Amino acid sequence: MRIVHTINEIRQSVLGKKQQNARVGLVPTMGALHAGHGSLVEAAVEECDFVVVSIFVNPTQFGPSEDFEKYPRTLDTDAAYCEQLGADIIFAPSADQMYPAEQLTWVDTEKLTEVLCGQSRPGHFRGVTTVCAKLFNIVQPDLAYFGQKDAQQAIVIQRMVKDLNMPLEIHICPIVREDDGLAMSSRNKYLSADQRKQALCLYKALTECQSQVAAGQRQVALLIDAMKQVIQQHQGQIDYISIVDPQTLDSLEQIKQKALVLVAVNIGKTRLIDNLSIDLNTPANPI
């Protein structure tokens, strides 16, 4: 497995493979890889002939008071993990490669980015869509892989690809959880032992919501109250708890068929997110 740092190198490698009719998969990441990313790489290895993992801590998706500086950077261990999973090449550009001059052109997906994480993190999704558009243009993958853990991001990227007629397919892979239910996240590394216990409140709130829906509760306000209680019992600072239409992200008052339940909670200084998809027409799997 190779590691390349420049746009020219990754373009040359992909071009060579495309000339052999290879199906190219891209797994965009910011590194600090865990089993959640691993599942994306595994899916790409299974479905594609040539798998690129990009590792780039993208400065434009972090707000001024967010954790860009302290975001974990672990390229050597990430590379070993990708090699073990069967990835073909890592594209790990510098910020100067990706943003050589002042960026005057941005990709902005409206409406879907104005709610939920978009409200708490102004400018975040503009950074995400712009860097993903750049990565798609640089790598020109046939498929790109994202995790359901970042549900809003997945919805926004799918919409960007559709609206801008980008010639690739987006695959969304299920959330990967620790044995006790905590959703895998690179930010879990920030948690102390006590905070790690508290962090379970996101999963517990979602399972509470799932049980209440299974028992027949359809009123969103009551479901949100029940989740709030679980999170407050664990001293989590709620950023938002929302139950929305999974396509439009509009808030629901009642669950009628499909719904997306999202939570964002600060545990100390660490902001964690998690979510649950509900479809009343299919039997619920334990999350």
**Residue 276 near residue 210, CB atoms below 8 Å:** yes
Does 5 participate in catalysis according to the annotation? no
- Alpha carbon distance 36, 183 (integer Å): 8
Our finding on whether 128 is near ligand PAF (CB under 6 A) is yes
Token pair of 18, please? 């495309």
Report the distance separating Cα 185 and Cα 281, nearest Å. Answer: 30
Cβ 219 to ligand PAF shortest distance, Å: 33
CB of 64 to ligand PAF, least distance (A): 17
With vertex at residue 248, the alpha carbon angle to CA 244 and CA 253, rounded to the nearest 5 degrees, is 30
Site pattern 58..87 for ligand PAF (x: CB under 6 A): x--x--------------------------
> Quick one: which segment of 9-17, 69-77, 101-109, 128-136 binds ligand PAF (CB under 6 A)?
128-136
Q: Residue count at the site for ligand PAF (CB under 6 A)? A: 10
Contact set for ligand PAF, span 21-40 (CB under 6 A): 28-30
| 131 is an interface residue for ligand PAF by CB under 6 A | yes
Of the residues 5, 34, 37, 171, only one is catalytic, namely 37
Please report, to the nearest 10 degrees, the dihedral formed by the alpha carbons of residues 207, 210, 216, 222 taken in order: 70
Q: How far is the CB of 136 from ligand PAF (least distance, A)?
A: 11
Taking residues 145 to 164 in sequence order and writing x for each that binds ligand PAF by CB under 6 A, - otherwise, the string is -----x--x-----------
Residue 93 touching ligand PAF (CB under 6 A): no
Q: In the complex with ligand PAF, which residue's Cβ is closer, 23 or 34?
A: 34
Burial class (CB in 10 A: 0-12, 13-18, 19+), 216: exposed
Number of residues that this document lists for the chain: 287
Beta-carbon contacts of 88 under 8 Å, excluding residues fewer than 6 positions away, are 1, 2, 50, 51, 52
Binding site for ligand PAF (CB under 6 A): 28-30, 58, 61, 128, 131-132, 150, 153
